[in-house]
Structure 1
Amino acid sequence: MLDDTLLDDPAALQRADHDHALLALAGVGARVRTALRLADAAGLAALRPEGRPRGVLVAGHGSALTAGEMLAAVAGTACLVTVLPPSDAGPVAREDRRLRAPAFTAGLSWQLPGWAGPLDLLVIATADGDERGLIGLAEQGYARGCAIAVIAPAGSGLAEAALQVRALPLPFVPPALPDQEDPDGRAGATGRGVAEPDLPAEDPGALWAFLAPLLALAEKTGVTQLPSGSLPATADRLDESAVRCRPDAAAYINPAKGLAARLAGTVPLLWAEGPLAAAAANRFAALLADRAGRPALAGSLPQVLLAHRGMFVGQFGAGADPDDFFRDRIDEPDPLLLQVLLLRHTPGRSGPDGSDGGAEGRGEDSGGPYEQPADDDAPRGLAVSRAHRLAAAHEVRLTEFASGRQDRLHALADLVALTDFAAVYLGLAAEAG
């Protein structure tokens, strides 16, 4: 089990944070501002699109695909948004085999769907920029007549290929971090060795380096219709979350540390109400695996109730109450129990302190996602009510976090920032212990 006191030891967390994950998350607001400024300088401000595209295809891997899923959640039904993961893994090119540690994407390829054509926008996003499969995809898009935009590091192979296929080059903003070399010679997200050298842990702040220019492009082309100033203000929301979730904030006022402590020693079920919360839940599951080495299952209400109901009557859901005073604990390992985390977007609803969006329930800061008390008598939808009844019937703890912001992008930023920090704290505390 996790020693909760480690979460309130900033020095121990810093020693365990070998690749500066907390610093990367604290700097995502600045990366959003830089990405927006560089995107305008690269030609986005002068872009005059000829109407909204029929569909947007977002190609890449890792956080680039997550950014595409979040664009789909923000856009809603206004435009078809499709993510394109790698479709195949072929032989590695000879020049790639000469590399000491070949990249994960060496030999991978991407394929446009058959319907993609001149009416569609293809966005290729990567933090590396030298994936031959993505360069080949840009050539496919050019041959099909697609409008193309590329988010890649300046000077990379993909950025140079963008000029050849008349694509809009949007720079990828790297993190501003100190030297990431581990003095102990270890690698990985939380200092643990990685079995495959070509599968490094991903920068946790890369999501916003992709999402900021992607949303700016989507707003320019009419794919999304965000309130005026929504994108720049998102950076402010992320800065506010970084202050609330800072390492020197005690767990009782730090919502991310509190959430990490609750998930320790559990099997998390990440349930979501609506597409925005679903995107945040999927991101949380991925980061829990990458940063904390913890499996988690994510799904959307109401269908997740059917998908996960069998777990409530299995060995994880029907165990004894961990707080049962009379239970014999001699030579008994700590049981793994289910923990349901329900993420919601409740626009217009105030948090416990009456502020827009609310606070975490115990903290003094407003504007972030608030924790909803289990006995709250506010009206709930049928699916949410069923979720609470299912958890209560099987004595499974359900924790609900919601953002009440009217702006969909700001609500997404609230939920993602909270869960990103929680995943990193959970991994660092386990490493420090």
Structure 2
Amino acid sequence: MPHIEESILDDADLLARRDSQGTLRALATAGAQVREAIVLAEEAGVERVAWGERPRSVLVGALGGSAIVGDILDLLAEPGSPVPVTARRDLPLPGWVGPLDLVVAVSLSGRAPGPLALAAEAARRGCALLTVGAEDSPLADVCHRARGVHIGIGRGRQSSRTSLWTLLAPVLLAAGQLRLVDVDAEVMSAVADRLDDQAEQCRPASEAFLNPAKNGALVLAETVPMTLGDNALSGVAARRAGNMLARTARIPATSGELPHAASQVVACFDGPFTAGGGSGAPAAGIFADPFLDAPAQPKLGLLMLRDQPEASAAQEQAQGLADALLETAREAGVRVVEQRAEPGHSVVRLAELMAAGDYLSTYLALGLGVDPSVSPHIATLRDRTRGAR
């Protein structure tokens, strides 16, 4: 069963040696990514997106670590957007998409097959086009030939998992220009400040008892984790956290949001990963010998991400459900990590909750001796499928 010693997470030199590609350092640049994206978007003429006219609809093409860009735009636009927002990872481009619609294609390298194919098909149909990715790339070339708006990514970006805000900030600024979301440069500056605060709290030199990400990694190290948000906003952050636990820490995790996921989460409290669960085996006694007895069973873990939206009757009911679920979880012996966003704009709160999951997953990987940026099996799969493409 995976185990982390607190001394490992407090050894900054050891963490640096295990982090071959500087994942923690890259995550800490999130605030700088936002500020750079504001400048790059202005230089690219983001106000020209969709020719300055509100489109009939917006379709976001992204995959892998970039796919959450579409989820976030959909989340933020849903309450008051006058046009629908949909997400797509690859062809076919829906038949109803045409010259009145905006297609957004996002790829850090500018070479991801799905977004590139969607952008090319959108250009052929005469759609308005916004692309975000490497400047010298096929994606940028498609956009320039279609007279769309391409926004570059700056320098030193290695992975979409650690460069999320390089990709997301320009898309939100463009949506703000079209009055689809309540986002502008001032809001994004506040996002950058909140991300800087998270980087300071979760820095490698901060001791585990003061560092919420290190402490969360210690709690979840010996668990089968679930990530849960208490509303739609924190639900997106929970989905991101589940993906990061799998891709970065190599630990499979389920994710969901309240109230819809309440029953499936609580049902797991009766299963084999909780104290006195359904395995039928008695709880380990104080004299249990881990070498002679059966291997210890991993426990159930829960990462609860909690929002602080404006007070309302519906929100009070949602908060009450979250409180009751956490109380039930602790009584069942579930290891709980709770992260609550500080007040602020919805994008600012979302940024804080996503950063919490990013840092926790990375410290969990490093504590378990896993390099968060290098996966031999992914490299092997890529080599085996290269000839098929």
Q: TM-score, normalised by structure 2?
A: 0.84
Name the structure 2 match of 1:315.
Answer: 272
What's the offset of the Cα at 1:328?
6.1
Aligned residues: 358
Which of 217, 220, 241 pairs up with 2:198?
Answer: 241
In the TM superposition, 1:221-260 aligns within 5 A as 221-226=178-183, 229-260=186-217
CA distance in 1, matches of 2:76, 2:146: 29
- 1:281 aligned onto 2:268: no
CA distance in 2, matches of 1:295, 1:417: 19
CA distance in 2, matches of 1:81, 1:261: 39
What's the offset of the Cα at 1:209?
1.0
Name the structure 1 match of 2:26.
Answer: 24
Change (3 A) 1:174 1:304: farther
Change (3 A) 1:392 1:265: closer
Name the structure 2 match of 1:352.
Answer: none
Name the structure 1 match of 2:252.
Answer: 295
- 1:331 aligned onto 2:292: yes
Which of 128, 142, 157 pairs up with 1:161?
Answer: 142
Structure ranking higher in helix proportion? 2
What's the offset of the Cα at 1:133?
4.6
In the TM superposition, 1:3-82 aligns within 5 A as 3-45=5-47, 49-79=51-81, 80-82=84-86
In the TM superposition, 1:25-424 aligns within 5 A as 25-45=27-47, 49-79=51-81, 80-86=84-90, 110-175=91-156, 202-226=159-183, 229-319=186-276, 331-332=292-293, 333-347=295-309, 381-424=319-362
Deviations 1:209-248 (A, max 9, x none): 1111111111111110137711122112111111110000
Change (3 A) 1:174 1:227: closer
Structure 2 stretches lacking a partner, 5+ long: 372-389
**Greater CA deviation, 383-392 or 339-348?**
383-392
Change (3 A) 1:138 1:46: closer
Contact preservation (8 Å) 1:174, 1:206: no
What's the offset of the Cα at 1:330?
5.9
CA distance in 1, matches of 2:12, 2:322: 36
What's the offset of the Cα at 1:64?
1.9
**Greater CA deviation, 158-167 or 15-24?**
158-167
Deviations 1:334-376 (A, max 9, x none): 3211112211111368xxxxxxxxxxxxxxxxxxxxxxxxxxx
Q: Which residue identity does 1:85 align to in structure 2?
A: R
CA distance in 2, matches of 1:421, 1:381: 25
Q: TM-score, normalised by structure 1?
A: 0.76
Change (3 A) 1:37 1:3: same
What's the offset of the Cα at 1:139?
2.8
What's the offset of the Cα at 1:59?
0.5
What's the offset of the Cα at 1:388?
2.7
CA distance in 2, matches of 1:307, 1:114: 36
CA distance in 2, matches of 1:341, 1:30: 27
Q: Which residue identity does 2:141 align to in structure 1?
A: E
